[in-house]
Structure 1
Amino acid sequence: MLLLGMAVGSFAIPDASKQVWLQIDRLRLVAPALLAIAELCLAGWLILGLRRAPRADPHTDRLLAASAQRYFGQGVTARLMEFEARVWYYGLLMRRPPKFEGEQHFMTAKAGGNASNQMAWIALMVIDIPLVHLLLHYIWSPTAAWVATALTVWGLLYLVADYRATLVRPVSLTGEALLVRCGALAADVAIPYAMIASVQRVPSPQRRLKGKRYFRHQGEMNVEISLREGAALATLLGGAKPATHAVLGVDDPAGLVKALAARLT
């Protein structure tokens, strides 16, 4: 967002009014380099930390969260660092499916072709990269082409991480709560059983309604959880947003409804 603001300012502000912006313009090449260094340092820290993962904690997701909180506290920065670490882990570093908390697990990859649809978007993006690179190279400049390609590949890492996380990260029933996981790019949400009023199967697609929290991805939603009055669900940056329902899609909706209903009684 910072780099985008600098680029917009450089084009939007007239040259006669750029007394201060001339100093900011000098950072346009420095800022991307610092950003790249920061990302590489994060990846290195993650690799070193994961070497000790089986000994420290068999649950990799829990290890990533604990490591971010140890260095950055409980605030927004820690949540963002955990998010970035998860992207690097699932995008490049995961070699075998990790372990997850919970007593019963329900996958989401096949719900409405969720994982297949994500792979289709990744394939389209991969095909698009060389075409756009050549187009920018000849109609603009080689530098612009390489910058656009680098940013696109970086964005592709997020899509790959989300796809690989969808294949292995389940919705789980723990001792006291339903733990909703939705790929790598959405916040994990723990819904205590005491907060749940009822659960039922629903047809797809679901219309977006105020008060409902949707965990859809690229598939279909088939389970709707009604929440008690005053319920609030966690967001990506650590806050909580009021919600009346949680709607999600799993491969075995009948099994999840039956298992969760049993927990509620």
Structure 2
Amino acid sequence: MEASASGVVRADEVLRVLQESMAPAAEVRVRDAALRKLEFWQKERVPGVVTSLLDIVAERERFPPDLRLYAAIMVKNVVGCTWNRSASNTFGRSFVEKREWALISEEEKEAMKGRLLPLLFSEPEETVLAQLLVLVGGVARYDFPARWPDLVRELLRAAGQSEAEPPHQQHPTQLSPESLRQKLVALRCLKSVLRALKGKKSLVSVTNAEMLRNRDKLREFARLGSLEMKTLYSDAALCFPALYELWRRWSTVQGGGRAGWREACAIANRA
């Protein structure tokens, strides 16, 4: 595997392997070798891979939609959005977290979170957008609220504001296509995040044998878990008054049959 002196995989190497993995069936050896390398990167969370995959997703003018979609799927898989449940041990049934996210460097995590929402709002391809929505939800499950505290507020802000206009002056006929699309994407993303957070309670129920043997560790784990869940519920609760207000405002326009009612209907339905 080619890498820089620091052990970080280069962007051109990631691009080459992605392209080779999509090679025609006649080039079996090339394609299989590339697929094995992708599998290795996904399993080992090799530094530089996540950043390079996001670079490919972001370069819409340079790469075709199918390659960008492939990169989006790969980065979603590298991050991981599921938990694995394993066999029992002497304590009875135990649960082992499948924490792909924990194996990614903190530097790459922070850089990735800083790029995800801008990528979402600017992505024109629905297939790529769908993968990015799942990705944001997966990251939120791991890092919200403690390490991504502004996520929900940013999405609510994007869904509730139209460019520089105050909310009480917004009207569908005043929305640019870009602004309308941003609102709809923000609401879809918020739904993906809330759906992912439904499983967040696993953080306080999942443990391991070593922790069960150490009462102090278990007590501290429970304390931190309880604190995080209180913060999570508090932040999630912010969504519902804001979503109700969005629904009420745009439903009024829709029900009145005024100009822009179709756009209002789209926003109200998403809210």
- Of Structure 1 and Structure 2, the greater helix share is in 2
Structure with higher RCO (Cα < 8 A, 6+ apart): 1
Would you call these one fold, judging by a TM-score over 0.5?
A: no
Query: TM-score scaled by structure 1?
Result: 0.28
- Of Structure 1 and Structure 2, the greater strand share is in 1
Query: TM-score scaled by structure 2?
Result: 0.28
